[in-house]
Chain A
Amino acid sequence: MAKIMLSNQRAIRLRSALRQGILLVTFGVIVGAIFNGLRTDGLPWVGLWSSPSVAVQHLQGLEDVSLGKAWALYKSGQALFLDARDPEAFQKGHLPGAINISHGEAIAFSEEVRASAASGIHIIAYCDGVGCSLSSELACALQEYGIPQVGVLINGWSLWLKAGFPVERGAE
């Protein structure tokens, strides 16, 4: 008898928590919608989320370097790749001759990159994934330090690897 009463109590408690939980989620949904509505740069309810549209979002006017162009420049010795991924990913593998410039390190490498750019070398930043914005952020940071000719190879690491082009491993 006591067992049945206890299980009934538990069921009532669970039902009550469920009801209140639904109410909590409803309030949360309203709060989220209000916050977004109050923002001047709020997110539209319907967004375009295809690979090209995400890539365009990241580029923000920067030069979009195709895989073919990057390969041609590399073959002719006119490309300097900047790997914007974290050092661990870089150690596992990177484009030939790439320099690993993690987030916030652009200033430390700006002179080296500037010297290469001045000698006619094409500077190409890359990271991994269409949604990865690190390469475009790096290109923007370098532009701020006065190096305007930085292109971006969107989804560079995956594309390069998929194409079967040569890669290097370990630190530079």
Chain B
Amino acid sequence: MWSRFMAWCCSPLISLVFRWALGGIFLYAGLIKTCDPHGFALAIYNYQILPGWMINPMAILMPGVEIMVGVSLLFGIRAQAGALIATGLLGVFALALGISLIRGLDIACGCFSTSSSVGSITWLYLLRDLILMVMSVHVFFLDHEIASVDRLIQKKLYEKVNSE
């Protein structure tokens, strides 16, 4: 039973689903934040973790990184690197959420919306973040490069070398 479950967990299909899901989530989150950098900067400020001089550069640059990670995972372009950065980002987000929850801050997450009217953070947000982190670790170790641009390029190169 256990071995069947493990085989199912490690199947290429599960890894592909996780990669696409994470890719879509990161791309969406990055685009939302890019559309409203002022709102995202305010969301970062509300966490009261970063010094004032770091807030604007973070609000400008982080959405770009999220977009790149999203594109990498969605299309399978250096997906392992994308999963590695995604894991790091999710780890940082989880830390920020955990600290804020322990401090009892009544703030909006700023994860998938830059508006402060979407409700306050709860432990469920942290749980969601940790689940996404497990998914990205799964992709990092077990991605089989199915339906990926990398695999397509490799195939083309292989065909080219063989034909010569």
Contact = CB atoms under 8 A, between A and B. Distances in A.
A interface bracket (residues with beta carbon within 8 Å of B): 35 or more
Contacts of A128: 106
A134 B63 contact: no
Interface in B88-133: 105-107, 116-117, 119-120
Contact of B80 (A17, A30, A47): A17
Contacts of B38: 41, 43
Interface stretch (A20-28, A60-68, A114-122): A20-28
Interface stretch (A31-39, A72-80, A144-152, A164-172): A31-39
B24 to A, nearest CB: 17
A56 interface: no
A29 interface: yes
A131 B42 contact: yes
B68 A27 contact: yes
B12 interface: no
Interface in B53-97: 53, 55-57, 59-69, 72, 78, 80-82, 84-85
Contacts of A13: 80
Contacts of A19: 81
Contact of B52 (A20, A47, A86, A131): A47
Nearest to A44: B56
29 contacts: A16-B80, A18-B81, A21-B82, A23-B81, A24-B72, A27-B64, A27-B68, A28-B68, A28-B69, A31-B67, A31-B68, A33-B61, A34-B64, A36-B60, A42-B37, A45-B56, A45-B60, A47-B55, A49-B52, A49-B56, A54-B45, A89-B120, A103-B117, A129-B107, A131-B45, A132-B107, A134-B116, A134-B117, A137-B117
A168 B120 CA distance: 21
Interface string B38-56: 1001100110000011011
Interface of B: 34, 37-38, 41-42, 45-46, 52-53, 55-57, 59-69, 72, 78, 80-82, 84-85, 105-107, 116-117, 119-120, 140
A137 B34 CA distance: 22
Contacts of A4: none
A45 B55 CA distance: 9
Given A17-B81, A18-B84, A32-B64, A47 B56 contact: yes
Nearest to B118: A103
A33 B116 contact: no
- Main SS of chain A's interface residues? helix
B34 A129 contact: no
Given A44-B56, A129-B46, A30 B64 contact: yes
Interface of A: 13, 16-21, 23-25, 27-36, 39, 41-50, 54, 57, 85-86, 89, 102-104, 128-129, 131-134, 137
